[in-house]
Amino acid sequence: MRQALFAGLIMVVVLLSACGNNSAEPASEEVVQETVQSFYNEMSKYDEMGKSSLENFNTTLTSYSTGQATDKELQKAVNRFQDTASEIADQVNDVKISKSLPDTVQTLLRDSVIAFQSAYQLKEKASQSAVSPDVTAEEFNAMNQQADVAMLYGISKLNEARLAAGLIEPEKAVTGTVSEAGADIGKAPSTGGTETTSGK
């Protein structure tokens, strides 16, 4: 499933990256670094935006699976997280990538945007499935794993852009995160919650 997701992301990335050639004046190395760092900071901001509602969702889902939270409380947490995830996905999609950047850097940043947006959309879908009687625990976990893969792909592309701009060392290009405090957009409980919620 992860391989399929990677393949899908790569196909979308290749198609979108092929559109539009760069006709703007090339930016200086300093401007490239400032632009890429600004992009990184913006992605970190969106990551921070999603933490509060995600933590509430995870906590409420765990409480629900142990009988400590009501259906109404769970639905409220789901709605809150869905609204936040949808808003972030839209805002990530609206992030502008300067055409004065080198083509390689533009492509890497565009790839990361596509992956980050996909990750938030997948998390939003997974959160809704938590209250669906038609979704099994395995399906719920699979959605979360797909979102994690998409996020890791986005992080790797963003770090490749930072490497190309001279902002980080090569050894950090794969392992670095969007925000050191939590770049994976969180993880819903992998066991218990969905089984209880869906009656499986």
Domain map (residue ranges) of the chain: 2-8+29-198
**Cα–Cα distance measured from residue 28 to residue 26, given in angstroms and rounded to the nearest whole number:** 7
pLDDT tens digit sequence for 4-14: 554 454 444 44
Question: Scanning the structure block, which residue is given the tokens 């969007």?
Answer: 178
The residue with greater pLDDT, 181 or 1, is 1
Structure tokens at 185: 């957009």
For residue 80, the surrounding DSSP H or E stretch is helix 71-93
Q: At what angle do helices 29-65 and 137-164 cross, to 10 degrees?
A: 160
Question: Scanning the structure block, which residue is given the tokens 């957009």?
Answer: 185
Check if the beta carbon of residue 161 is closer than 8 Å to that of residue 109. Answer: yes
For residue 61, which of 192, 199, 193 has the smallest C-alpha distance?
193
H-only helix segments in the chain: 2-17, 29-65, 71-93, 103-129, 137-164, 193-198
pLDDT tens digit sequence for 12-50: 444 444 444 444 567 888 999 999 999 999 988 888 877
Percent of the chain with pLDDT over 90: 28
For residue 189, which of 146, 144, 148, 151 has the smallest C-alpha distance?
144
**Cα–Cα distance measured from residue 187 to residue 178, given in angstroms and rounded to the nearest whole number:** 16
